[in-house]
Amino acid sequence: MPRIRLTKSAIDALPTPKSDVVYWDAGCPGFGVKVTPKGRKVFIVLYRTGGAGSKLRKYTIGDPSSGYGGGAEGIRGQA
């Protein structure tokens, strides 16, 4: 999966893929934006609940255009 610096302009410029693609943030491990074939974009975060031996889980935070004031920068600070 590609790693890019997730900014508002970078997220707005992401192309619509033929299948789901996750673009991971270069500055915050486990934080990314998923783009669907219909053009929907959602922030996601990977996490583990039981430490290094447990399985990874993916949590959807929300849509970049749904009122998260700082865009990726604001969400990145909360993740």
What are the boundaries of each domain within the chain? 3-78
- 33-60 pLDDT per residue, tens: 999 999 999 999 999 888 888 999 999 9
Multiple choice CATH, 3-78, 3.10.350.10, 3.30.160.390, 3.40.50.720, 3.90.180.10: 3.30.160.390
CB atoms within 10 A of CB 36: 13
Predicted TM-score (pTM) of the model is 0.78
Predicted confidence (pLDDT) per residue in 5-44, tens digit: 998 899 999 999 999 999 999 999 999 999 999 999 999 9
Neighbouring residues of 76: CB distance < 8 A, sequence distance ≥ 6? 6, 25, 27, 28, 31
Q: Which tops the pLDDT comparison, 19 or 77?
A: 19
pLDDT (0 to 100) of residue 68: 53
